[in-house]
A and B are shown apart, each in its own frame.
Chain A
Amino acid sequence: MTQTATTMQAGQTRPARTAPRRSWLSDIPDLLTRIVAGLIAAAAVSYVVGFTLWTVVISFTDSTLLPEYSFVGFKHYFTLLRSRVWQVAYFNLTIYGLGFILGATGLGLLLAILIDQKIRAENLLRTIYLYPMALSFVVTGTVWAWLLNPTIGVEHFVRSLGWAQFNFGWLVDRDMAIYCVVIAAIWQASGFAMALFLAGLRSLDADLYKAAAIDGASPARMYLRIMVPAIWPIVVSVLVILLQTAIKTYDLVRALTAGGPGIATTLPTNVVYDYMFQRGLMGAGSAAAVMLLLSLLIVLLPYALFQRLRRGKGGGHG
């Protein structure tokens, strides 16, 4: 028992009794509890499988406000693929995804490396860098919408300081608005990348640092050549998690730009919602949702395979 407690790192673990007392617990038939537990697991499974299949089925129908099961094949898929809003949404997602993932990963890595330099006030800084993760995207989007709004935010502020020509109107600029979403998303998620990278760096063997230092490599080179490759499984995890976050991003856009100006920051998730609940096109919306899922699977399946292979080899680090 004590052994278990230490392996589970449970400081506050009370010793459990292996020989159960007679109590109300033993009055419940064992078979019944097993059946209930099985049903709970079955419910969780059928939720995932059932709801997915349900949406897939509806995506092949002409359902509008109510589900109706008259099949139209791939009609909605073809219509969507040809529609401008869907193409623009995927184009936006590409720009946003690249900017957000590279930005958050790069910034997270930089901060993790800087924090790894035996600095003072490490806990305070980590707390500051990570706190946006505790916020809702609605809060993040709302506040950044003010800061980036040219008439009330940073542009107006800098101009009032005397730099009258200062321009920062990305939020209302069709070509640049998507980068506002990128900035807010990086602000929110880079601390997460930092936390994971730091955990990775801290798990590295101290000898690796010593060997690298003896080698006489400059700190920057040392990190890029030795430490980062040593934590590459974490780097992959962070990239994948951020990528799936990017694909699923919805609230942030809605709070920050509402998809605009025009459809300049509309993402596929916004299109899905628009079809399903604004235009009442359940079938078309479901088809869009299924395509969203397929995009996600393109990312997740190779990752799952990679994890499995790595674990099969006895898992390296992490």
Chain B
Amino acid sequence: MVEARSLSARGGRILLYAILIAFAAFYLTPLIVVILNSFRSFQEITQTSVLGFPKEFRLDNWVQAWGSYCIAGICSGISPYMWNSLLIAVPATLISTLLGAMNGYLLSLWRFRGAGLIFGIITFGVFLPAQMKLVPWAITLRDLGLSNTLAGLVLIHVVQGMSFTTLFCRNYYVNVPQDLIKAAKVDGAGFLQIFWRIILPLSPPILIVTVIWQFTGIWNEFLYGITFSEGSARPVTAALMALSANIAQAREYGIESASVLIAALPTLLVYLFGGKYFVRGLTAGAVK
């Protein structure tokens, strides 16, 4: 928005682009390094460094990373853990979003005494460090018989995610005119009917943001995953950690690179295709 004049000096423009491109290189370097390494052989990397261009593009790192490389003694590659993460992230995202929308609707449009306080407490859950919840979750999961199960992690992410989704949805629904609700009540519509017929049809923008945000967060989550799962029940972030913590054998940087890319791909794709909503989610909490 700056007047063209103020920065029009040719040298200034060149410097500007030089800095912008230099930073682009800073952000892209790790990604490019991992992509290139995923095609390089073990000898090639260990004889030089992780920075280098592949002599030939080999796909066997990818094949092994996906299906046969040994992670903590289980030689099935990273694919089972990708499924685990998917089976955790998809249901947990959908359920927590739906519950958050219900909560948001209840707290913003059915204003009652204490609604503000309830919202404040639920929002506080966003900031509460996970360490404060690990021991209670450990006891709860054990009592429910859900230790080391995908269902246990789904439960954690649903309950935990409700804080985020309630925050997002409530802040969105606050802008829905109260008159709309009043009119529907006069027409005899009940709590659930108003939600289903009036609020949900208005919600796609916020639901997309919430779903993208929840999916990314749950997919990338590590602490609950590593604490409450082991062996073949691990989500992919925990499996990645086990993979790189493997000190029994020489580091297979090529295979690890392919694994890292596979694990990062779902959220990267979500970011590339839903970037607009992703940014909206980032700013929703802070700029409001």
Contact = CB atoms under 8 A, between A and B. Distances in A.
Nearest to B103: A41
Contacts of A156: 48-49
Contacts of A67: 135, 139
B129 A248 contact: yes
A138 B222 contact: yes
A147 B20 CA distance: 22
B121 interface: yes
Interface in A213-248: 213, 218-219, 222, 234, 237-238, 241, 244, 247-248
B235 to A, nearest CB: 10
B95 to A, nearest CB: 11
Interface stretch (B56-64, B66-74, B145-153, B188-196): B188-196
Contacts of A318: 287-288
B130 interface: yes
B282 A289 contact: no
A28 B192 contact: yes
A138 B125 contact: no
Interface in B193-207: 193, 196-198, 201-202, 204-205
B8 to A, nearest CB: 10
A154 B51 CA distance: 7
Contacts, number: 319
A73 interface: no
Contacts of B271: 130-131, 133-134
Contact of B268 (A34, A40, A135): A135
A116 B2 contact: yes
Interface stretch (A80-88, A94-102, A172-180, A269-277): A269-277
- Band of interface residues on A: 35 or more
A19 B245 CA distance: 60
A130 B241 contact: no
Nearest to B266: A134
Contact of A117 (B2, B176, B221): B2
Given A10-B202, A248-B129, A131 B268 contact: yes
B189 A20 contact: yes
Contacts of A34: 191
B52 to A, nearest CB: 8
A98 B199 CA distance: 43
B1 A134 contact: no
15 contacts: A5-B202, A37-B103, A44-B122, A111-B23, A129-B24, A130-B278, A131-B272, A132-B27, A142-B240, A157-B49, A201-B1, A237-B287, A282-B135, A293-B128, A293-B132
Interface of A: 1, 3-5, 7-10, 12-20, 25-26, 28, 30, 33-34, 37-38, 40-41, 43-45, 47-52, 54-55, 58, 67, 107, 111, 114-119, 125, 127-140, 142-147, 152-154, 156-157, 160, 187, 191-192, 195-196, 199-202, 204, 206, 209-210, 213, 218-219, 222, 234, 237-238, 241, 244, 247-248, 250-251, 254-255, 258, 269, 272-273, 276-277, 282, 285-286, 288-290, 292-293, 296, 300, 318
A-B pairs with lowest CB-CB distance, top 7: A136-B220, A134-B271, A30-B190, A33-B192, A289-B131, A48-B125, A156-B49
